[in-house]
Structure 1
C-alpha cells in the first residue's frame, strides 16, 4: 500500500487538532512545532481539508483551525481522500497496465486489497484514535499514582 507523507501528515495534524481543541482554535504554527511538520506543507494540507469541509478557519488574533464536525463523525478515509491521497496497493496506480500494458495476474487481488484498506479506514474515527491513545496512557498514570500513594 502506498500512503505517502501527505496522508500520514494530514491524519497526524487532524489528531493534533482534536487533542488540543479544548483551548480554542489551533494555529498551524503550533501543530508544526508539536508534530515537526513544515508549516508551508500544513498550509497546503489544511487548504484541502477546509475545501472538503473537515476543518474551518478562524481569523484574527487567537485564530487558527477547528474541526467542522465532531471528531466521532470524521473518519480517517475522509482525511486521506481530502488531501487527494489514493490508497492503492497496485503497481500500476489502478490503471490495469501493470504487465507490459496488460492486467497482471495479481491486479484484482491488489485492487481488492486497496478497497479493503479504504473500507477499514472508513470505519476509524478521529475520536476512536484519541480514545485509544487515552486508554494507552491511563495505565501509566495509574502506576505513577500507585507509586506516589
Structure 2
C-alpha cells in the first residue's frame, strides 16, 4: 500500500466533459495542487451514495477554505457512470474521476477483488495529496466507513 511521503504513480484516468470523455494523467491532475482524493468501492452503491459522496459534497467549501485546490472522487467505474453519479448528487466542483481498469487502485495497493459483487474495485479511502505526494492517508477496513469520512479528512487539514 502507498505510504505517506510517497509520490503517486503515473497512470491515466478518464472523466466526462462537455466535449466527451477525456484522458488525464496523474501529473495533470496533481502537479502543483493540494488535492483531497477520496475513493469508493462503487458509484451508486449504498454507503457511497448515502453517506460518502454526500458528506464530501456538503463540506466541499470548507475544504476549499482550508487551502485545498481540488477534490477528486475516484471509483473503478467508467467516466459515464461517474459523471451521472456526480450529477445525481449535485457534486458541484468535485471532479468525478474514473479509474476504469483499476490501474491506479492496483498501483497504490488499494484495489480489492469483490468477486461476484463487482470484481476489481477500489477500497474505501481518502488522502491528501500535495504536488503529487501523499501527505495523509485514511483507509477504511472492508465494509466499514469510519476513517475516510469528509469530517475526518477535514479535521486532518
Q: TM-score range by the shorter chain?
A: 0.3 to 0.5
Higher-strand-fraction structure: 2
Structure whose residues are more often helix by fraction: 1
TM-score normalized with structure 2 length: 0.31
TM-score normalized by the length of structure 1:
0.32
